[in-house]
Chains A and B, each alone.
Chain A
Amino acid sequence: MTAFVVAGLSAREVSRRRAALLLMITLPLWFYLARRDLTGQSTRMLTLGMAWAVSTVTLFVVNAARGVDPRLRLTGASVPGIFGGRLLAMSGFGLLLTAIYLTLVTLDQDFLRPWAVGVMMLVTALVAAPFGSLIGALLPRELEGALALFSVCAVQMLADPAGTVAKFLPFWSSREIGSYAVDGGGADVLWRGLAHAALVWLLCTGLTLAVFARRLRVARYPEPES
């Protein structure tokens, strides 16, 4: 119950930050338009733009709740309830972005496997939510967090995808699934991408939960005897 209420309220919270939300929703579009002539590159850029948008919005939501969280814990909410709710809302935001941009690119480009483009976007958006929350849990201020996310996404764009560094970056999976969708890679490429995404998701979710469980721990004191 708590998770659903937190999810609903997080969604409303984000929807009220009109300007930030509009910038975040349109950001992937600029990434896409820059190299619209190259199907593969523009779609990958678009997807990384989505990753940045979703993770940054998640970061905002996590940071905005810093004051409220300890009190919610004291009142009786559980850490998975609080965190799960936010993750749910932000995954919903990722799903919305995927729907918008998948429609756009499938109308605008010809893909070898259009459904796989959808998988790439969705997987990236789903990974971005816990990644953004992890950064939010570690860096207390919005500006610092947004810059950290920007660095990660920039390195992800610029790193040699075949190199070792790229594999340790959170959105390597989008590159792999993209190869399958656009360049006609084999099924093993797809599975490798999905496995990497699952691993990153679990890692980010687990670490965020661990950070919050530590920060929001409430001492259990024994009842006093009169």
Chain B
Amino acid sequence: MTPRPWLHGFLDLCLLAMLRERPDYGYGLAQRLAAAGVADVPGGTLYPALLRLEQQGLASPSWAPSEAGPRRKYYEITPAGRAALDAQAAEWRGFRDGVDSLIGEHVR
């Protein structure tokens, strides 16, 4: 699993990307992150990040009842969120390619 410091810079990016696919709530997003093999994100990291996206207007919340247990807070990506996602995705690709090229030189 990815060490936390790496994820820290890209958690917002991952969350926005998942929300673009479909609106989701905290637990669902945690499951998807783990399933994708990105990280097992602790709740103390995930939920503040979601609240921050909400505060910055990148995701908008809505409450929905669940079959079992308490109602859930679903997040949906906003147009501003899409714009931020595009910008951050480009940044990520640049970063990834840079790291790849460095690893390529030395490891192979």
A and B touch in the complex (CB under 8 A): no
